[in-house]
């Protein structure tokens, strides 16, 4: 193996030792439970918890496989043609061998349940017949799966589709083989009278494992064989594509008016029209119109947010905070409209907004505190030896809000819209499939409507979170806060005096 002399011999020897260990271990467990009576109720409870945890661990394994499949199929990369299935892959029809295997495996699940009830009722003959049918169906499933592999026009080496297909279905096939061995042993134990009405946990564990195999196959059939083989002409990421509406280039510079710029302009014009509408209908009277009531409630909400996070000194910034909140709210809400464009789903927009907030915070700090603003880089009481380290740490923490604000808003908006687009595509595919899937598409459609309400709430929440964090970041500078204890460093004119302040602080606060 791997061109090592005697490698194959070591491989077969290790495999033999593994099989021998498993055989002897399980033989001893059967002896303890069947002939020695050591499997008390407490022991059986522990065995039940053990098989449950084992099945959960196997579920996590398949979760990783499904994760890889959906990660590749929901957002196909340009290297595979930006479509799924990838270009050049001739997929297997879901309604031929895979559908037949689905019927076979579900039938085996029914027959193993029949065997379970027969054991509980004490009908040994029926248990033998039903479990024999289960084992036969399991072997037939494995043979058809091998036939499908040999007849497929792609291999595991054919890119992401081949690797995800064979790793998911192959591991499931391996679990079917293990489950077949498990059920075959149980069939033998029924034949030699090992199981009774009260003590038959070995069969229960095998039945649980087999039902788990059935459920995993249903997910494989629906996701990989059926849904994964549908030609997806549109990627969920296409809704975020920026394209020029009015092309305009000067040399290598592109000044085109894009769809993103159009919706940014549209949001600003809508905000202006909204405010003008408030004044035109309400005229600022004490008895407000409907529009004026909405406007005043939003303004009062923003004012309370500013006062809570920035104090009385923050009232001067209410117009800016209110404008920022209104812009984000309108941008997020307009992004929910079909065939529109979500400007906050682009990092360049959210990062620009966070940069404006960060630069504004810096300007306010310089205006209010002058050179003392540099005190954020050097807390008082720090020994001179570790001053460079703390300067680097404080400098990083000073720049973190610049990235955190923009990335938070961008990630939440793009994730929510991708999820909605995926579910819409799933509903549409089921609708076009007809027959049973036409009726079943109402289930994801109902989920879609629930997510629409949730995403609308997220649009408001994200605007609120961005605005509130802006208030917190700016309020720390406006109030002075931590700068008070840093002022000693920058009130002196020499390095010697600043070092003396350090030494005094350390001496008065021993560790």
Radius of gyration of the chain (CA): 33
Helix axes 159-191, 201-220, angle to 10 degrees: 160
Rounded to an integer, what distance in angstroms lies between the CA atom of residue 476 and that of residue 324? 19
Reply yes or no on whether the pLDDT at 494 is more than 50: no
Give 250's strand partners.
Answer: 253
Reply yes or no on whether the pLDDT at 22 is more than 70: yes
In degrees rounded to 5, what are phi and psi of residue 253? -95, 135
Q: What is the mean pLDDT of residues 70-81?
A: 79
Tokens (6 digits) for 450: 């629930």
CB 452 within 8 A of CB 336: yes
Least confident residue range of 2-11, 72-81, 158-167, 345-354: 2-11
Residue at token pair 């009531």: 293
Per the model's pLDDT, the better-predicted residue between 395 and 137 turns out to be 137
**Per-residue pLDDT tens for 233-243?**
456 666 777 87
Residue 82, by phi and psi: left (phi above 0), alpha (psi -120 to 50) or beta? Answer: left
Determine whether 47 is exposed, middle or buried from the number of CB atoms within 10 Å of its CB (0-12, 13-18, 19+).
middle
Q: How many CB atoms lie within 10 A of CB 61?
A: 12
Reply yes or no on whether the pLDDT at 377 is more than 70: no
Q: What is the mean pLDDT of residues 350-368?
A: 83
Give 249's strand partners.
Answer: 254
Answering whether pTM is above 0.75, one says: no
Rounded to an integer, what distance in angstroms lies between the CA atom of residue 459 and that of residue 462? 5
Q: Which residue from 317, 325, 365 is spatially nearest to 481, judged by alpha carbons?
A: 365
Q: What is the mean pLDDT of residues 41-64?
A: 86
Tokens (6 digits) for 321: 């905070």
Rounded to an integer, what distance in angstroms lies between the CA atom of residue 139 and that of residue 157? 27
Long-range contacts of 196-200 (CB under 8 A, 24+ apart): 197/119, 197/120, 197/121, 197/122, 199/33, 199/34, 199/39, 200/119, 200/120
């Amino acid at each position: 193996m791997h061109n090592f002399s005697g490698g194959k011999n070591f491989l077969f020897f290790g495999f033999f030792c593994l099989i021998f260990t498993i055989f002897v271990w399980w033989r001893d467990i059967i002896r303890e439970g069947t002939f020695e009576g050591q499997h008390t109720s407490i022991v059986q409870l522990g065995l039940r918890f053990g098989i449950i945890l084992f099945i959960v661990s196997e579920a996590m394994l398949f979760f990783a496989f499904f994760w890889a499949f959906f990660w590749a199929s929901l957002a196909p990369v340009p290297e595979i043609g930006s479509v799924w299935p990838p270009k050049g892959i001739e997929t297997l029809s879901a309604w031929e061998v895979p559908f037949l295997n689905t019927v076979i495996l579900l039938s085996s699940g029914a027959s193993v349940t029949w065997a379970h009830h027969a054991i509980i009722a004490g009908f040994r003959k029926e248990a033998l017949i039903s479990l024999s049918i289960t084992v036969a169906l399991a072997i037939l499933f494995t043979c058809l799966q091998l036939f499908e592999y040999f007849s497929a026009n792609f291999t595991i080496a054919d890119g992401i589709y081949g690797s995800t297909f064979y790793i998911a279905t192959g591991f499931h096939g391996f679990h079917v083989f293990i489950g077949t061995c498990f059920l075959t042993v149980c069939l033998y134990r029924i034949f030699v009278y090992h199981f009774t009405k009260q003590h038959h946990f070995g069969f229960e564990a095998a039945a649980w494992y087999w039902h788990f195999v059935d459920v995993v196959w249903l997910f494989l059939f629906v996701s990989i064989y059926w849904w994964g083989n549908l030609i997806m002409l549109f990627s969920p990421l296409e809704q975020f594509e920026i394209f020029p509406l009015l092309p305009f280039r000067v040399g290598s510079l592109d000044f085109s008016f894009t769809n993103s710029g159009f919706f940014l302009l549209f949001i600003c014009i809508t905000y202006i029209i909204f405010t003008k509408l408030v004044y035109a209908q309400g005229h600022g009277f004490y008895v407000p119109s409907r529009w004026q009531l909405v406007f005043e409630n939003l303004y009062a909400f923003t004012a309370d947010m500013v006062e809570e996070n920035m104090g009385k000194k923050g009232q001067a910034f209410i117009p800016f905070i209110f404008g920022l909140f209104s812009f984000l709210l309108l941008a997020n809400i307009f992004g929910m409209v079909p065939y529109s464009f979500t400007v906050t789903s682009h990092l360049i927009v959210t990062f620009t907004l966070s940069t404006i907030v960060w630069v504004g915070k810096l300007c306010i700090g310089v205006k209010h505190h002058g050179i003392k603003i540099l005190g954020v880089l050097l807390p008082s009481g720090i020994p001179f030896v570790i001053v460079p380290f703390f300067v680097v740490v404080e400098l990083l923490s000073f720049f973190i809000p610049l990235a955190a604000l923009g990335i938070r808003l961008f990630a939440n908006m793009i994730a929510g819209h991708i999820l909605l687009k995926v579910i819409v595509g799933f509903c549409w595919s089921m609708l076009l499939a007809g027959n049973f899937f036409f009726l079943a598409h109402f289930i994801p459609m109902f989920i879609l409507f629930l997510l629409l309400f949730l995403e609308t709430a997220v649009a408001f929440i994200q605007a609120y979170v961005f605005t509130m964090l802006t208030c917190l970041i700016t309020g720390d500078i406006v109030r002075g806060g931590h700068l008070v204890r840093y002022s000693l460093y920058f009130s002196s004119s020499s390095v010697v005096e600043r070092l003396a302040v350090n030494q005094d602080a350390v001496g008065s606060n021993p560790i």
